[in-house]
Amino acid sequence: MIGAIIGDIVGSRFEFGAAPQKGFELFTSDCSYTDDTICTIAVADAVLNGRDYKESLLDWCRRYPDPMGSYGNRFYQWIHSEDPQPTNSFGNGSAMRVSSIGWLFDEWEDVLEEAKKSAIVSHNHPEGVKGAQCIAEVICWLRLMRFSKSDVERKVEKFFGYELPPMRDIKKIGAQGHFDGTCQETVPMALRCFMDANSFEETIRLAVLCDGDTDTKACIAGSVAEAYYQAPEWMIEKAVSYLPDDMLEILGQFYERIKDSCGQRK
């Protein structure tokens, strides 16, 4: 979960700003948490404290109504509707907020079901559900089964139908100013960044350097990388320094719940 938050914060200043350059500074005063972190915290809160996913998302998003970069238009309308209903969205928001589910459930069937539940309250299009399920399941595969990266890539294609694009194609899209806001694009792109990296930090850097939806791509890539690598302690400390106390409380609950699993990562 902290992997997702690190990716979000590092990528935040590039989403609507100048294109990132190789060797960019990871954390600056221009960075902040965005809607990605708020929604990630909300989903974790729902599982940890027995809340309905919809209730928790509305609570947290209304509590933080104006994050850096704001919310996507359709999701903003959903948040502020008198009776929020699913919008048939396949935006990447369902996949960027799901990481805690891959840690908090151990049975694959439960992971898939809970990921679906977390998605359909707002993103009930089949592609929106699939994106959330894929990321949660990959996290579960990596932390419990210790699958190799090549095994993960094969299983992602077999069970979810995602063919991961080569890095050169992702970078080309970013260079052309394309904003990859859908699960169909962002999920395989983020997974390719993880596959091609040799460390947690490199995963985050690759995702950001691909430009486009930098915070969400790095959020998703970071969430997966955390289940495979040990996130550097200094990066964790920097990321939590950006978070308010109520988010830190949920983060603390999460790691207290999964503390036995954390020591098993590479």
Q: Please check if 36 is assigned to a binding site.
A: yes
Residue holding tokens 């990871």? Answer: 26
Residue 70, token pair as written in the block: 């704001």
**Phi then psi for 28, rounded to 5 degrees?**
-135, 175
215 marked as binding residue: yes
Is 106 assigned to a binding site?
no
Q: What does the chain look like in DSSP terms, one character per residue?
A: -HHHHHHHHHHHTTSSSSPP-TT--S--TT---BHHHHHHHHHHHHHHTT--HHHHHHHHHHHS-S-BT---HHHHHHHT-SS-------BTHHHHT-HHHHHH--SHHHHHHHHHHHHHTT--SHHHHHHHHHHHHHHHIIIII---HHHHHHHHHHHH---PPPHHHHHHHHHTT----BHHHHHHHHHHHHHH-SSHHHHHHHHHHT-SSHHHHHHHHHHHHHTTSPPPHHHHHHHHTTS-HHHHHHHHHHHHHTHHHHTT--
Q: Which residues are annotated as a binding site?
A: 34-36, 213, 215-216
Q: Which residues are annotated as a binding site for Mg(2+)?
A: 34-36, 213, 215-216
